[in-house]
Amino acid sequence: MSCLASRVAIVLAVCGLAAAPALAAQDCEGRLGTSRVMEVDPTGGLQVGTKHFPQTLDLADKEVVLTFDDGPLPGTTPTVLKALARECVRATFFLVGRNAAAHPDLVRRAIAEGHTVGHHSMTHPMTLADMPFDKAVADIDRGLRADDKAAYGVAGARPPVPFFRFPGFGSSPALLDYLKGRGIGVFGADLWASDWNPMTPDEQLKLVMTRLDHAGRGIILFHDTRSQTVKMLPAFLAALKEKGYRVVHVVPPPARSAAVPQ
């Protein structure tokens, strides 16, 4: 992706960090790495992830997108970032606004290390679809602003990364329409580790790899707030490499990144 010099500092930061490798290419030799960057246009009602939507991202066989929800939390997120950096892998984090507001340093670190930072509401209601529409919209909007304030120091009318995931995948037609109207794309998942259920890291690894081998590709959902996921992650990344999976990093198109907070 390219970044025009005329863009304001915040936009340069978003573009530059998305484009800049966390490690120099030679340092990533022999690691799992990030095989390609996929620009995902969120406009027009983007809804991806076959667990809840009919369609998903255009991934080739053995391509995966790694996503982490609910953070950041200081007890777990730094270890996730470290494991990803060790393998030169870039992921997408769907932030809970109140956690982002409490730990802006971790949000900025994730961006500085090249990851995409999307949104997951302010308070993580279970679910937004079960709330009155106005309250649900308010929680979504507060989350967008809190995430952007933490990430960039300022929050405008349009989030620079217009990617949203519903807590508990609890969407409604009205809320999907609302996000579509704002040009915000909705990410579901194609498979997950069920890491909300207590299990050992080994059990979780076996479960997610069985599901991935069955699916062959897809958007994978984890939680960077779960210690069992943190403990599993290095072995999971090693398994991806051993089995020939390739990691795809999703980013918004530059044109959308140019949405300047006002």
The nearer residue to Zn ion, 69 or 195, going by C-beta atoms, is 69
Judged by CB, which is closer to Zn ion: 93, or 245? 93
Inter-helix orientation angle 77-86/227-242, to 10°: 10
CB of 196 to Zn ion, least distance (A): 9
**Residue among 115, 124, 223, 249 flagged as catalytic:** 223
**Contact string 170-209 vs Zn ion (x = CB under 5 A):** ----------------------------------------
- What CA–CA distance (Å, rounded) separates 231 from 235? 8
Report, in Å, the least distance between residue 166 CB and Zn ion: 8
Q: Which stretch binds Zn ion (CB under 5 A): 62-70, 82-90, 104-112, 211-219?
A: 62-70
Q: Choose one: 58-66, 70-78, 100-108, 133-141; the region binding Zn ion (CB under 5 A).
A: 70-78
Among residues 91, 88, 113, 115, which one has the least CA distance to residue 31? Answer: 88
Number of residues near Zn ion (by CB under 5 A):
3
Q: Which amino acid is it at 3?
A: C
Token pair of 82 as six digits: 């470290």
Q: Which one of 57-65, 107-115, 125-133, 160-168 is the stretch in contact with Zn ion (CB under 5 A)?
A: 160-168
In the complex, the smallest distance separating the C-beta of residue 127 from Zn ion, rounded to whole angstroms, is 10
Active site residue 52: no
Smallest distance, Zn ion to C-beta of residue 88, A: 26
**Binding-site member from 3, 32, 57, 70 for Zn ion (CB under 5 A):** 70
**Smaller CB distance to Zn ion: residue 169 or 236?**
169
Instruction: Report the distance separating Cα 142 and Cα 183, nearest Å.
Output: 17
Confirm or reject binding of residue 167 to Zn ion (CB under 5 A).
yes
Q: Interface with Zn ion includes 147 (CB under 5 A)?
A: no
The count of C-alpha atoms lying within 13 angstroms of the C-alpha of 246, restricted to the half-sphere facing its C-beta, is 10
CB of 70 to Zn ion, least distance (A): 4
Q: 28 to each of 89, 92, 114, 239, 246, how far by Cα in Å?
A: 9, 19, 14, 17, 14
The DSSP annotation for 52-68 comes to: TSS----PPTTEEEEEE
For this structure, is 69 an active site residue? Answer: yes
What is the amino acid identity at position 253? P
CA distance 194 to 150: 28
Of 69, 190, 195, 224, which one is the catalytic site residue?
A: 69
Binding residue for Zn ion, selected from 18, 47, 69, 186, defined by CB under 5 A: 69
- The catalytic residue positions are 69, 223
- Binding residues for Zn ion, rule: CB under 5 A, are 69-70, 167
